[in-house]
Structure 1
Amino acid sequence: MILRGKLITGGRMLADGVVETSGDRVVWAGPASERTDQLPEPADPGTTIIPGLVDVHCHGAGGFGFPEADRDGSTAAADHHRHNGTTSVIGSLVSAPPNVLHGRIELLASLVERGTLAGIHLEGPFLSVLRCGAQDPASILDGDPALLESLLAAGRGHIRSMTIAPETAHFAELSTMLTENGVVVSIGHTDASNPTAARSIAHSAHAPLSATHLFNGMAPMHHREPGAVAACLAAAARGQMVVELVGDGVHLADETVSTVFDLVGPHQIALVSDAMAAAGMPDGRYPLGPLDVDVVDGVARLAGQGDTAIAGGTSRLMDIVRRTVLDAGVDLLSAVTAATATPAALLGLTGIVGDLVPGCRADLVVTDKKLLPRAVMASGNWLTNTMES
């Protein structure tokens, strides 16, 4: 398979590029001028070929959520994202009683082993009740190394990241356990002071480290109380941390997104969807773990509680890339990098996914001039393809 058009490959944008796949791998990518063989005509102006997206924080879609759906529903949620351009989906769970978490982890681990998911993200239960957002406060627990050990065992090596609050009990021990098991420590849902957050970052900065949806689930940054937000931004600027941004226009203002790109650059940002069951669905009531969520005008909030915390996202990652470019004014290469190469590197998947270079899996998205997906390929197979219609 040979595709030609504007191409993002190896951290650069080519005005006339070619990507060639064979089986499930990319075998060549570069400028069309370097090819001597017969090539297809360039794609329509405005069409861009980008790597398949990598979402490290995703709770579901299409009416199904990873924290509560059965195997078929969880598969449908992952497939919804895959067909919309996110070819590597990390399935995120929320805080729940230990027995529930064990069961959910075991179910999602089986989907990783089938290739449906790229891994598991635990968003809790070692969080701050004061900053629990739309999570069930009754399910939030103090840091417990024995419980963490059992959760990791249930994951069979497929837990890729875990959100924990710096102020939780035994943070240092938990962080060390996660790192030793190849799990990314992600700081979030925290009311920690700046010194506490900075100490937790310093303890964990020798390994891949992230901030769960920066700004959301954290005390607002104040000039006399900078809190965890300032500590995370500073760490990202030093190259010690990747910060997640839910750039959907609901979780964050477009200006906030563009500011963070200006401050720390795309190699320290992972655009994420934080999508829940309502992503890709009409307004209505949907589950988020044990809680019900009402979606009104595309905004998800806990049911019956008025203007409360945002309860996950209703956008797909391609929607967020598009908004980051068209509304936040971030250049396309930077936005795509933050949704592909950076999250892949965070998960230790560089050279496997997140780029279109020889040896990488043949995951790609062909977008139109409005950055809407026209075709999606995963492992060399077309999932969707409207380019001929």
Structure 2
Amino acid sequence: MSSAPAPAVPGAQSPTVYSAASLRTGRRTLSPGWMVVDQGVVVAVGEGEPDAAWASAEQADLGAATLVPGFVDVHCHGGGGASFGDGPDLLASARTVAATHRAHGTTTIVASLVTAPLPALRDAIVGLAPLVESGEIAGVHLEGPWLSPLHKGAHEPTLLREPALADVDSLLGARPGVVKVVTIAPELPGGLDAVRRIVEAGAVAAIGHTDADAATATAAVDAGVTLATHLFNAMLPVHHRVPGPVLALLEDPRVAVELIADGVHLHPLTVQHAARSAGVGRTVLVTDAMSATGVADGEYLLGSLVVDVVEGVARLREGGSIAGSTLTLDVALRGAVAAGVPLDDALAALTTTPARVLGRTDVGHLEPGARADAVVLDGSLTVVAVLHGGRREPGQSSGPVDLL
């Protein structure tokens, strides 16, 4: 079976046909499968031998590899020694972070900002806006300052504040459309009104760093929350008499739930149980990565807080709280599968589902009309090549995929 070729684009270069033992488009599995990329867009896919209509196109045979959609990370703070929103050159720092994660398959990334003074957050939103508007990053995620001091995690407690609507309007209006996700503790005074205002502004309201009980979590969903920020972490734990927000969010079909499958934030059994409970379409694998991702252990800053990274685990120097991760989504994929999540379900959790959370129809799948963001995986689920907008990313492994 195959899709019909798209109309030719005037001035387009010759299209390229990518063939692989397995093509998982995000909507179907084609074995063997092929896709045609032209001007950075998927224009056709099919199963078996490529259609004769594409015989004159450039051919790239990936052999035994599996071709999957590019990964989508809706929660990432940094990588490559840099953080989003920090440093003397915000654009250079952001590009370093994006490139670090793109080498591991993440082709769509949201820039997460930790709690900071309101003027600093506003400046970061304005500073990152050119990258959002050009499509280099998929938007900004405000993880703070409207968080519970009881579940602050790696956020500076003196900067946490209640969500006054004027402050919400100020940040979301700093550059309209740039902020895509806002994490909030809805039990704070004004929290539910703030959730409504976030949604009205066109952003995703996420519950996290919260002391909400089950009833308040459900009230937040009624108000417009559609995402749970790193479920289980920085919120009330599950208790058989006081279930807290976790069970309410897992059981609510209106909510997608983030999971950090790094073996540190969550036990593998917890990942397996949560992914099975939420199911395909509601599970989102994220990194929550900080600047030490992809570089050496040592001392780093997360916002204004000192973080020590030892054997890849990031913890605040003061208090020892987990301070994000050094995870990449390819490692999260392998971690989820090792925890017992079926491969197709795990792939959906870092492609189609996060794309849907962001309201994106052009990424997260490899059907005609999608941006040609693709990842080539070997049999051990290791990334051996990445296509971003139809262009191969540098620094990938050698082998049959050199044809890319």
Scaled by the length of structure 1, the TM-score of the pair is 0.93
- The answer to whether the aligner puts 1:319 opposite 2:316 as a matched pair is no
Q: Give the match for residue 345 of structure 2.
A: 334
Can you give the 5+ residue segments of structure 1 that lack an aligned partner in the other structure? Answer: none
Looking at structure 1, the residues matched to 104 and 334 of structure 2 have their Cα atoms a distance apart, in angstroms, of 12
| 2:144–2:160 CA contact under 8 A, matched in 1 | yes
Looking at structure 2, the residues matched to 342 and 62 of structure 1 have their Cα atoms a distance apart, in angstroms, of 26
* 1:95 maps to which of 115, 118, 122: 115
Looking at structure 1, the residues matched to 85 and 233 of structure 2 have their Cα atoms a distance apart, in angstroms, of 20
- The answer to whether the aligner puts 1:245 opposite 2:259 as a matched pair is yes
Give the Å deviation of 1:191.
Answer: 0.9
Instruction: Summarize deviations over 1:284-340 as a string: whole Å, max 9, x none.
Output: 1111111111001111000243xx221001011111012212x21222211111101
Q: Give the match for residue 298 of structure 1.
A: 312
Looking at structure 1, the residues matched to 62 and 389 of structure 2 have their Cα atoms a distance apart, in angstroms, of 22
Q: Give the match for residue 35 of structure 1.
A: 51
Instruction: Summarize deviations over 1:174-216 as a string: whole Å, max 9, x none.
Output: 11111111100000000111111111112216xxx10000000
- The answer to whether the aligner puts 1:193 opposite 2:207 as a matched pair is no
SS of the counterpart of 2:174? helix
Give the Å deviation of 1:73.
Answer: 1.7
Percent sequence identity is 43
Give the Å deviation of 1:373.
Answer: 1.0
SS of the counterpart of 2:270? helix
1:302-381 matches, within 5 Å, as 302-305=316-319, 308-325=320-337, 327-350=338-361, 352-381=362-391
Looking at structure 1, the residues matched to 149 and 26 of structure 2 have their Cα atoms a distance apart, in angstroms, of 42
Q: CA RMSD in A?
A: 1.6
Give the Å deviation of 1:251.
Answer: 0.7
Q: Which amino acid aligns with 2:369?
A: G
1:189-228 matches, within 5 Å, as 189-204=209-224, 209-228=226-245
Instruction: Summarize deviations over 1:226-270 as a string: whole Å, max 9, x none.
Output: 0011111111xxx20100001111111111111112112121011
| 1:19–1:29 CA contact under 8 A, matched in 2 | yes
| 1:175–1:204 CA contact under 8 A, matched in 2 | yes
- The answer to whether the aligner puts 1:17 opposite 2:17 as a matched pair is no
Looking at structure 1, the residues matched to 153 and 189 of structure 2 have their Cα atoms a distance apart, in angstroms, of 20
Q: Which amino acid aligns with 1:60?
A: G
Instruction: Summarize deviations over 1:147-166 as a string: whole Å, max 9, x none.
Output: 11010111331111100001
Deviates more, 1:4-13 or 1:225-234: 4-13
| 2:31–2:48 CA contact under 8 A, matched in 1 | no
Q: How many residues align?
A: 378
Looking at structure 2, the residues matched to 358 and 147 of structure 1 have their Cα atoms a distance apart, in angstroms, of 42
Looking at structure 1, the residues matched to 118 and 223 of structure 2 have their Cα atoms a distance apart, in angstroms, of 27
Give the Å deviation of 1:32.
Answer: 2.2
Give the Å deviation of 1:33.
Answer: 4.8
Deviates more, 1:1-10 or 1:144-153: 1-10
Instruction: Summarize deviations over 1:52-86 as a string: whole Å, max 9, x none.
Output: 11000000100001142332122111111122210
Q: Which amino acid aligns with 2:238?
A: M
Give the Å deviation of 1:87.
Answer: 0.4
Q: Give the match for residue 59 of structure 1.
A: 77
Q: Which amino acid aligns with 2:113?
A: L
Looking at structure 2, the residues matched to 42 and 117 of structure 1 have their Cα atoms a distance apart, in angstroms, of 30
Looking at structure 1, the residues matched to 217 and 151 of structure 2 have their Cα atoms a distance apart, in angstroms, of 14
SS of the counterpart of 1:388? helix
Quick check: which has more Rg, 1 or 2? Answer: 2
Deviates more, 1:296-305 or 1:123-132: 296-305
Can you give the 5+ residue segments of structure 2 that lack an aligned partner in the other structure? Answer: 1-15
Q: Give the match for residue 130 of structure 1.
A: 150
Instruction: Summarize deviations over 1:133-173 as a string: whole Å, max 9, x none.
Output: 11111111011100110101113311111000011121222
